[in-house]
Amino acid sequence: MIRLEQVSHQYANGTLALQNLNLEFGGQHFTALIGPSGAGKSTLMRVLNGLVRPSNGKVWLENTEITKASDAVVRLERRKIGMVFQQFNLIRRLTALENVLIGRLGFMGTLRSSFKAYSRADRELAMRMLERVGMADQAWQRADTLSGGQQQRVGIARALAQQPKLILADEPISALDPKSSEQVMELLLEIQQQDSIAVLVNLHHLDAVRDYAKRVVGLRAGQVVFDGRADQLDDDAARALYYGENDTAETASDALNLERPVVSMPISVPGSSAVITNQFTINSYTHDPAGLSNSRSKKEWK
């Protein structure tokens, strides 16, 4: 469905976000995109739906090459791709239903849309999508009154309203609690299977990757360093992805950016006689081999 040929992208500030990517996402797969922060995952997603035009290479969306196409053509092609965001990106002051109808904007005229004159069919479709994500009861509530998990489900309904062939989800569960995360991932999997569409999810939770994804693509510094079945992603592969090939505890802790006290000579302060003593420990850095844990070892007060 979507194919990248020798795609590279450099931002205006000189950051090389993507380097010579050759990838294909298609058929009806649930694919997870993983890699350390700054690896280019979000950029890749925005290249896929044409929001970012790569500096080099070609992107084929079905039979259309979109990197050189006009804005109007890219916009029409983009309707085939639904997007789900980390911060949900709902229009906070509109109702859940109006937010889902945003997914129909690309299919209607500008003038009609300015008066919010959505067709009956569109409104029915939007309501059905809300039902599907279990949010029909909240259809008339303003988006900013919903919880994070609920907002993300409305976000998914908005993507569904486009009746897409591919759903891109950019860290859809990073801002959610474990229960909502599970609901959202289950929902995405269900949609992928029932609608036979492709779902590409950018994830940081390796547990979720193993539970839901069929295929895993690992990015590091803008390059593909892993592309295989999810069960091939063992601890060593994950470690290589997040910490580099020559992994040692030292580089791992560098990667985790752990703070250590700066050692220096005391500065004498005249008259500073007040002294408070306390107990202080620094735990040995707990090193999570799969990089799963978000809980960096912290200095601990006793």
Check residue 281 for interaction with other proteins (CB under 8 A): yes
Yes or no: say if 99 and 143 are a contact pair by the CB < 8 Å rule: yes
- Residues 70-99 close enough to bind other proteins by CB under 8 A: 75-76, 78-79, 81-83, 85, 87, 89-94
Applying CB under 8 A, which of residues 24, 27, 51, 293 lies at the interface with other proteins?
51
Per-position x/- string for 226-265, each x denoting binding to other proteins as judged by CB under 8 A, each - no binding: -----------------------------------xxxxx
Q: Which pairing describes strands 56-61 and 2-10: parallel, antiparallel, or unpaired?
A: antiparallel
Distance in Å, CB of 111 to other proteins, minimum: 9
Per-residue burial over 3-15, b if 16 or more Cβ lie within 10 Å, else e, is bbbebbbeeeeee
Distance in Å, CB of 137 to other proteins, minimum: 23
Nearer to other proteins, 35 or 103 (CB): 103
Per-position x/- string for 182-221, each x denoting binding to other proteins as judged by CB under 8 A, each - no binding: ----------------------------------------
Check residue 158 for interaction with other proteins (CB under 8 A): yes
Distance in Å, CB of 285 to other proteins, minimum: 15
Nearer to other proteins, 246 or 268 (CB): 268
* Sheet of strand 56-61: strand arrangement: 16-25, 2-10, 56-61, 64-65
Residue 228, sorted as left (phi over 0), alpha (psi -120 to 50) or beta, turns out to be beta
Nearer to other proteins, 127 or 169 (CB): 169
Whole-angstrom distance, CA of residue 205 vs CA of residue 266: 43
Check residue 175 for interaction with other proteins (CB under 8 A): no
Distance in Å, CB of 243 to other proteins, minimum: 27
* Sheet of strand 30-34: strand arrangement: 81-84, 166-170, 198-202, 30-34, 215-220, 223-229
Distance of CA 269 to the CA centre of its chain: 50
Distance in Å, CB of 116 to other proteins, minimum: 9
Whole-angstrom distance, CA of residue 104 vs CA of residue 191: 19
Which H helix or E strand runs over 225?
A: strand 223-229
Stretch that binds other proteins, among 132-140, 184-192, 246-254, 266-274 (CB under 8 A): 266-274
Yes or no: say if 80 and 49 are a contact pair by the CB < 8 Å rule: no
Closest residue by Cα to residue 203 from 292, 300, 115: 292
Distance in Å, CB of 222 to other proteins, minimum: 21
Distance in Å, CB of 300 to other proteins, minimum: 11
Q: Environment class of residue 50 by beta-carbon count within 10 Å: exposed (0-12), middle (13-18) or buried (19+)?
A: buried
User: Applying CB under 8 A, which residues contact other proteins?
Assistant: 49, 51, 75-76, 78-79, 81-83, 85, 87, 89-94, 102-103, 105-107, 110, 113-114, 155, 158-159, 161-162, 261-267, 269-272, 274-282
